[in-house]
Amino acid sequence: MQFEETAAPPSHCPICQDDRQYLGPNGQEWTTLPDLARTSRNITRPIETGIIGIATEPVFAIGQRAMLIETPAGNILWDCITFIDDETVEILKARGGLAAIALSHPHYYSSIVEWSRRLGGVPVYLHADDADWVMRRDPRIVFWSGERREILPGATLIRVGGHFPGSSVLHWQAGASGKGSLHTGDSVYVAADKRYVSFMYSYPNLIPLPASAIRRIVEALDPFQFDRIYGAWWDAVVPEGAKMAVEVSAQRYIDAITEQPPSISARGLGASLQGRK
């Protein structure tokens, strides 16, 4: 989380001290972009047609990767990373620059203002329900409200809630070769067995969500068709059958926290999705 410029480091970081995150064994630590530039670089990697991944090496903070989604109406940067340098800016400009930056939730706000300014002052879309978590304010931040916001044709932000009140995902209609892709950060978390996803209030502190929150997530996604899910890390991908994976995973989760026996649909998922690994 990038803060406003000050003469001395802030006294604390609310995002780190919140129950959804944690302070490391060395306590609160701070750095600056110039300091990061001495040891860090960004790499880019093609993911599928129209999607490029961007990540920092060596791994910094949570270690997520951003995604450049290239649409006919302009490019979207989804779920920002902290480090940015001239080389990264030139790579993005060579691919047409950015039309928008959009974020799933506060854990990935990172240096969003810096990215926007370096790429021409593009709008940064954050859900208004999470506005209090922004530590560096800027006119380029667009606080959208409600349940959906189409930021470019065929690219729609969907508020699913759960992890944070404003937790959102991005649905790209043209993704997955036209079958639709869902970009979820960890609002919908891709499990180690990529046939499933999960949902949590806090991942590092292992705090689950109630059944009502899980049902709301499924209902929010129901109107949209998608065959693939991209989470926040390189290998966090449900490659196909993603909509079924969400529905079955949600029922399995609800069964577990309400002490119900596994549903038939959950028991049968392995058979119905055989060969997908």
Q: Which two tokens stand for residue 262?
A: 């596994």
164 lies in a domain? yes
**pLDDT of res. 265:** 52
Each residue's pLDDT tens digit in the chain (277 positions)? 899 988 888 988 999 999 999 988 888 889 999 999 999 999 999 999 999 999 999 999 888 999 999 999 999 999 999 999 999 999 999 999 999 999 999 999 999 999 999 999 999 999 999 999 999 999 999 999 999 999 999 999 999 999 999 999 999 999 999 999 999 999 999 999 999 999 999 999 999 999 999 999 999 999 999 999 999 999 999 999 999 999 999 999 999 999 766 655 544 454 444 444 3
pLDDT score for 23: 87
Could you tell me which residues are beta bridge partners of residue 62? none
Distance CA 199, CA 32 (A): 32
Please check whether residue 7 lies inside any domain of the structure: no
Residue 55 belongs to a domain:
yes
**Residue 156's beta-bridge partner residues?**
150, 171
Q: How far is CA 237 from the centre of its chain?
A: 12
Its domain, for residue 118, covers 40-271
Residue 107 DSSP code: G
Domain count, the chain: 1
Asked whether residue 189 is domain-assigned, the answer is: yes
- From CA 150, how far away is CA 80, in angstroms rounded? 19
What is the chain's Cα-based Rg? 19
CA 174: distance to chain centroid? 18
What's the token pair of residue 227? Answer: 């065959």
pTM above 0.75, yes or no: yes
Q: List the CATH number of the domain containing 160.
A: 3.60.15.10
Separation of alpha carbons 186 and 168, rounded Å:
9
Is residue 228, in this structure, part of any structural domain at all? yes
Any domain includes 67: yes
Whether 158 maps to a domain, the answer reads yes
Exposed e or buried b per residue across 173-183, where buried means at least 16 C-beta atoms within 10 angstroms of its C-beta: bbbbeeebbbb
Return the SS3 of 175: coil
**Is 27 among the domain residues?**
no
Please give the single-letter amino acid code of residue 274: Q
Can you tell me which residue has the tokens 């270690």? 63
Pick from 50, 162, 170: nearest CA to 103: 170
Q: What is the SS3 assignment for 128?
A: helix
